[in-house]
């Protein structure tokens, strides 16, 4: 999940994460890893009833090729099964990848460039026909079609021949790098070693699609279900989505989705304040309601925490995301490492967190990697300045940089109240740096202009606010896009804003990618984070904390550290 853009679908998912009123929730309630269902359940969950979903954003592009999702937990995971998925448990245990359509996490070749999967027996679509490996191959191939763009980019980047493939509508031969020797076996041939392929296999692009039922761009109106629910109506491009049971789905082949409700009624286009008011009141059908995209804001949270009954219906926790200051060393004076270090010392994280909504919604960050174990988090603070900044140390380092009388710089931010990049956060940084002799002039841009300016090598500012979220819970998709020199993009959206192209960093990324032992890989990602952090190419500011209400009649609430999203596949309303 990448901050910023509404133009590039590769990054659009992260925009939703950042808006306080519509961000992804987290795990809880109240403690990451706790039994999130206990506070919402006075009895065991049971099948039956209708679950209402109250959302801000519509379920647009309801096609597995076009969705930028991973790991499950949201509305699409009820209809689309994938080769692998996330473990449906609260907290850290929910960061583990487990089999879904496949019997296991895949068998890699010795160097992890070939991955083989075997499908479970008895898999069926909503019409009772069998799901085959050829359907998964076709589902992946159609995601390469220009008219179905929007999904995650990894398969295009990783599969041999993927970069030049235009999809099955133009190329009937298909991708030779995906083999299906029989109906239950699928083999992937990769350009380079990728030990984290089991994580990639959670992406919705690995959803099976029967070629005979593919209707191209209109497939989203009635995609063929491989999950516990099927689409019975899709109105207003996802504004009102109704799902009912897929009678051919079997719990014997799916231990991760419980599918308790008989019906799921998803209504979108609602104002965040209205969503939270309805969930708070829990009258009528709203007692059996949840939201999959709307958080409590600071004012709403203050009201909720004063009411014990409401507070018991708030899920709290953490999604892997870091909000930070980005530097462009190609722009003076940020080419001087001492200037970047001085700013690192001067930042007052307490005032930044207050500007972001307070300590209930944000936690201070001194590492680029989030604090969850799955990322390989290694605690460090390369430029220790305490909770409120060290202006004296910043002045000392600034003098070493050749600016004994201070300097003036411009900080670029988004004019939208985007949690990480908002005017309020920018102002907090401005005030802190002033104490260190650094005058900060603020440049606020409208949302699209901000994204297009900040993430283009031709226009990238020297000093701006940014954020990055995980496509899956590992250090790989967190560090590589930001710090791998080979991922610098000259003619499109570029996220390596520090223009780091360090041969030793690139080499370490390649070596970690070969590891199929994910715990060993995590330890090395953490060490690499520390090494890169010492170069002061970013200033980590805070990791968001998410708070989300659910209806009084909702049971079995489970929210993991993978996506931070309340897992709709486990919720009961009976």
Q: Is residue 4 part of a domain?
A: no
> Residue 413's beta-bridge partner residues?
444
Give the CA distances from residue 54 to residues 269, 460, 478, in Å, rounded to whole numbers and listed in that order: 9, 38, 30
In a shared domain, residues 82 and 231: yes
Residue 384 sits in a domain of what CATH number? Answer: 3.10.105.10
Q: Give dist(CA 365, CA 376) in Å, integer.
A: 15
Please tell me whether residue 365 adopts helix, strand or coil conformation.
coil
Tokens of 84: 């692998």
| Contact status, residue 566 vs residue 25, Cβ threshold 8 Å | yes
Q: Are 258 and 327 within one domain?
A: no
Q: Per the domain annotation, does 296 fall within a domain?
A: no
Q: Which residues of 503-533 are buried (b: 16+ CB within 10 A; e: fewer)?
A: eebbebbeebbbbbebeebbebbbbbbbbbb
Pair (112, 239) in one structural domain:
yes
Indicate if 173 and 74 belong to the same structural domain.
yes
**Residues contacting residue 60 through CB under 8 Å, at least 6 positions apart:** 237, 238
Q: Which two tokens stand for residue 291?
A: 């939201």
pTM value is 0.88
Q: Is residue 509 part of a domain?
A: yes
Q: How far apart are the first and last CA of the chain?
A: 34
Q: Is residue 561 part of a domain?
A: no
- Determine contact, residues 64/171, Cβ cutoff 8 Å: no
What is the C-alpha to C-alpha distance for residues 334 and 462, in angstroms, rounded to an integer?
6
Whether the bond between 29 and the residue before it is cis, its omega within 30 degrees of 0, is yes
Regarding whether 335 and 192 lie in a shared domain, the answer is: no
The answer as to whether 243 is a domain residue is yes
Q: Digits of tens for pLDDT over the chain (574 positions)?
A: 443 332 332 333 333 333 333 333 333 223 333 334 334 445 789 999 999 999 999 999 999 999 987 656 689 999 999 999 999 999 999 999 999 999 999 999 989 999 999 999 999 999 999 999 999 999 999 999 999 988 888 999 999 999 999 999 999 899 999 999 999 999 999 999 999 999 999 999 999 999 999 999 999 999 999 999 999 999 998 999 999 999 999 999 999 999 999 999 999 999 999 999 999 999 999 999 999 989 898 889 988 988 999 999 998 878 899 999 999 999 999 999 999 999 999 999 999 999 998 999 999 999 999 999 999 999 999 999 999 999 999 999 999 999 999 999 999 999 987 666 789 999 999 999 999 999 999 999 987 899 899 999 999 999 999 999 988 999 999 999 999 999 998 888 899 999 999 999 999 999 999 999 999 999 999 999 999 999 999 999 999 988 999 999 999 999 888 877 789 999 999 8
Residue 538 lies in a domain: yes
Give the whole-angstrom CA distance, residue 445 versus residue 451.
9
CATH number at residue 194: 3.40.190.10
Q: What is the spatial distance between Cα 364 and Cα 353, in angstroms, rounded to a whole number?
A: 7
* Whole-number Å distance between alpha carbons of 262 and 249: 13
Predicted confidence at residue 418, as pLDDT, reads 62
Rounded CA-CA distance 45/48 in Å is: 10
Strands (E), 431-501: 438-445, 463-469
pLDDT at residue 19 in the model? 35
Looking at the structure, tell me whether residues 72 and 148 fall in a common domain.
yes
**Continuous H helices in 6-130:** 12-18
- Is residue 252 located within the same domain as residue 401? no
- Helix/strand/coil for 355: helix
Measured CA to CA, the distance from residue 431 to residue 415 in angstroms comes to: 18
CB 60 within 8 A of CB 273: no
Exposed / middle / buried, residue 415 (Cβ in 10 Å: 0-12, 13-18, 19+): middle
Q: Give the residue numbers spanning the domain of 496.
A: 321-545
- Angle at which helices 298-305 and 272-281 cross, to 10°: 10
User: Is there a contact between 153 and 140 (Cβ–Cβ < 8 Å)?
Assistant: no
Regarding whether 333 and 260 lie in a shared domain, the answer is no
> Strand 84-86 vs strand 97-99: parallel, antiparallel, or unpaired?
antiparallel
Residues contacting 362, CB < 8 A, separation 6+ = 323, 352, 353, 356, 542, 543, 544, 545
Main-chain phi, psi angles of 91, to 5 degrees: 65, -145
> At a CB cut-off of 8 Å and minimum separation 6, what does 233 contact?
240, 241, 242
The answer to whether residue 302 sits within a structural domain is: no
The position carrying tokens 């060290």 is 390
d(CA 319, CA 561): 6
Q: Are residues 90 and 187 in the same domain?
A: yes
Q: Which of 244, 265, 286 is the last residue of a domain?
A: 265
Q: Across the strands, what pairs with 102? A: 119
- Does 252 lie in the same domain as 108? yes
Q: Write the CA distances from 236 to 34, 75, 221, 242, 481, integer angstroms.
A: 38, 16, 10, 12, 35
Q: β-strand 185-189 against 178-182: which pairing, if any?
A: antiparallel
The token pair at 272 is 């965040």
User: Does residue 100 contact residue 82 with C-beta atoms inside 8 Å?
Assistant: yes
Give yes or no for a contact between 157 and 142, defined as CB atoms under 8 angstroms apart.
Answer: no
Helix (H) or strand (E) run with residue 204 in it: none
* Tally of domains in the chain: 2
**Measured CA angle at 118 (ends 117, 121), to 5 deg:** 155
d(CA 390, CA 517): 40
Residues 374 and 226 in one domain: no
Q: Is residue 50 part of a domain?
A: yes
Q: Coil, strand or helix: which one is 303?
A: helix
Token match 């099948």: residue?
A: 47
Are residues 166 and 26 part of one domain? yes
Please choose, from the candidates 92, 96, 522, 523, the residue with its C-alpha nearest in 3D space to the C-alpha of residue 319: 92
Pairing of strands 50-54, 289-290: parallel
> Nearest-CA neighbor of 78 among 205, 204, 180?
204
Phi, psi of 499 (to 5 degrees): 55, 35
Closest listed residue to residue 340, CA positions, set 397, 387, 404, 388 = 397
């Amino acid at each position: 999940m990448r901050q910023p853009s509404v133009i590039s679908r590769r990054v659009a998912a992260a925009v939703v994460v950042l808006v306080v009123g519509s961000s992804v929730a987290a795990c809880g309630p109240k403690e990451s890893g706790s039994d999130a269902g206990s506070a919402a359940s006075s009895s065991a969950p049971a099948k039956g009833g209708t679950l209402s979903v109250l959302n801000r954003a519509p379920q647009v592009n309801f096609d597995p090729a076009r969705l930028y999702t991973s790991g499950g937990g949201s509305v699409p995971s009820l209809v689309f099964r994938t080769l692998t998925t996330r473990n449906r448990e609260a907290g850290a245990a929910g960061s583990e990848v487990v089999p879904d359509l496949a019997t296991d996490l895949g068998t890699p070749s010795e160097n992890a460039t070939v991955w083989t999967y075997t499908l479970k027996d008895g898999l069926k679509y909503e019409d009772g026909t069998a799901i085959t490996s050829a359907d998964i191959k076709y589902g992946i191939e159609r995601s390469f079609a220009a008219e179905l763009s929007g999904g995650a980019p990894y398969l295009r980047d990783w599969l041999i021949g993927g970069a030049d493939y235009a999809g099955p509508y133009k190329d009937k031969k298909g991708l030779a790098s995906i083999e299906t020797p029989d109906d239950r076996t699928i083999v992937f041939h990769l350009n380079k070693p990728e030990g984290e392929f089991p994580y990639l296999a959670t992406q919705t692009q690995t959803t099976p699609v029967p070629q005979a039922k593919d209707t191209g761009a209109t497939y989203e109106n009635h995609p063929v279900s491989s999950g516990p629910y099927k689409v019975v109506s899709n109105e207003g491009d996802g504004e009102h989505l109704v799902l009912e049971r897929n009678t051919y789905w079997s719990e014997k082949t799916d231990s991760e989705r419980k599918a308790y409700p008989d019906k799921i009624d998803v209504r979108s286009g609602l104002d965040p304040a209205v969503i939270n008011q309805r969930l708070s009141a829990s009258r009528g059908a709203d007692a059996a309601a949840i939201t999959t995209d709307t958080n409590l804001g600071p004012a709403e949270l203050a009201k909720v925490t004063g009411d014990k009954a409401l507070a018991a219906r708030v899920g709290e926790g953490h999604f892997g995301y870091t909000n930070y200051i980005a530097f462009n060393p190609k722009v003076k004076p940020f080419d001087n490492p001492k200037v970047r270090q001085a700013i690192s010392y001067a930042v007052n994280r307490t005032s930044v967190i207050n500007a972001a909504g307070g300590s209930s919604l944000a936690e201070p960050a001194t590492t680029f990697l989030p604090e969850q174990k799955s990322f390989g988090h290694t605690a460090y603070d390369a430029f220790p300045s305490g909770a409120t900044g060290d202006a004296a140390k910043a002045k000392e380092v600034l003098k070493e940089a050749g600016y004994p009388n201070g300097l003036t710089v411009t900080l670029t931010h988004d004019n939208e109240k985007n949690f990480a990049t908002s005017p309020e956060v920018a102002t907090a940084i401005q005030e802190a740096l002033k104490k260190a002799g650094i005058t900060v002039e603020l440049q606020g841009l409208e949302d699209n202009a901000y994204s297009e300016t900040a993430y283009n090598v031709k226009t990238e500012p020297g000093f701006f606010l940014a954020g990055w979220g995980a496509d899956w819970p590992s250090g790989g998709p967190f560090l590589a896009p930001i710090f791998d020199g080979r991922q610098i993009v000259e003619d499109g959206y570029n996220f390596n804003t520090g223009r780091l192209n360090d041969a030793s960093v690139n080499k370490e990324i390649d070596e970690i990618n070969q590891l199929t032992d994910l715990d060993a890989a995590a330890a090395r990602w953490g060490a690499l984070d520390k090494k890169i952090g010492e170069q002061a190419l970013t200033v980590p500011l805070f990791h968001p904390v998410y708070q989300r209400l659910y209806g009084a009649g909702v049971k079995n609430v489970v929210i993991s550290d993978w996506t931070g999203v309340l897992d709709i596949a486990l919720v009961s309303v009976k």
